[in-house]
Amino acid sequence: MYCAASRGLKMRFAKIQNTIIFFAVFCIISRECFGALVVEEKCLCPVCDKEIAVLGVVSFGSYVYEYESKYDLIFFPYDDPGFIWMCPHCGYAQAAKYFTVLSQKEKNRLKDFLSAKWKPASPNDISIKGPNDVSAIETRFNQAILVNKFLEKDDNFWAWFNRVLIFHYRKIDTEKAKTLAIVERELLQKNKGEFESPKKQRAYLLGEYNRLIGDNKLAQKYFYQALEADAVSEIRTLNTVLVVINFALFVLLLVLWISRGLKKETRIVCTIGGIIIFVLCSFSLYMMPKIIPHYENMNNYHNEIIYDRIKLLNTQPE
Ligand SMILES: [Zn+2]
């Protein structure tokens, strides 16, 4: 009796032990424990059609928004240089989300272009062994820059891609990070880049990159400009303007509808138009209380980032 119970207990213990070992091995393979999980996956290179190994995302939580990269408004997974995917055979490199977005014409042109610029290498040569593997990280960045210049990507793309590069170069080459920050500052001043709260986020980034370049006075000016920019009031104003326009149109259609001597067809058009405007107006009023909390949370999140950087600026020599 005692023996059987003891054996059962041992087996259960062995099972738990195996689970722990499996989880530990999984974490080691997937590079991070108790963080966002990324694993190696296979995919076909869109330029040369050969199978290559790339990083894929298994899972992540809202904690990724607290990673250091938030100060460049760059978010997971682009805080990991491994998400600049690269093919060792043809030298094609690109940020994961744009990797397969190529037309047939672009594929053919890139194949010719890269064959003159890249000698086929082994996957090991371009695999990033750790955060200090500067050579592999820079190889990927340089190839991706080459590819994107060749593809003539627009300023909005560069306003994002530059920030990815700045975030990584801050750690491996600060002078290069500053040079890229000067380019990014110009793009932001030209209102380039796509943002959820353009006024606030552009002003913050202009503050942050002036801080990085060393222009503290300008940095302070932009940081306070960013704090003043209130994304919530912007969205409230926009919503109110839409409701007022809709209401004015509704009244106009109503006046037309009740006026005498209107043709039957015109009256039908007025009725349909009135109903559509009424529905749109009601929908805007219904959605407003649901949208506002989202913008309030986002505004608070960005204000915390700005306050952090103002604190850092106050400790930084001119
Ligand atoms: Zn390839």
Mean pLDDT in the chain? 88
Residue 131 Cα to ligand 1 middle (Å): 24
For residue 63, pLDDT over 70 is answered with yes
Residue 209 Cα to ligand 1 middle (Å): 35
Residue 147 Cα to ligand 1 middle (Å): 12
Per-residue pLDDT at 286: 84
Alpha-carbon separation of residue 117 from 91, 130, 174, 278 (angstroms): 8, 26, 27, 60
Residue with tokens 């040079």: 179
Query: How many degrees, rounded to 5, is the angle at CA 137 between CA 134 and CA 141?
Result: 130
Token readout for 74 is 């760059």
Per-residue pLDDT at 89: 97
Residue 93 Cα to ligand 1 middle (Å): 9
Residue 107 Cα to ligand 1 middle (Å): 10
Residue 103 Cα to ligand 1 middle (Å): 15
Higher pLDDT, 87 or 10: 87
Residue 134 Cα to ligand 1 middle (Å): 22
% of residues, the chain, pLDDT over 90: 62
For residue 24, pLDDT over 50 is answered with no
Please enumerate in sequence order all residues whose Cβ is within 8 A of that of 137, keeping only pairs 6 or more positions apart, or say none. Answer: 81, 128, 168, 172
In the structure, what pLDDT confidence band is assigned to residue 237 with cuts at 50, 70 and 90? Answer: confident
- What mean pLDDT is predicted for residues 190-204? 95
Residue 273 Cα to ligand 1 middle (Å): 54
- Its pTM stands at 0.78
Higher pLDDT, 90 or 241: 90
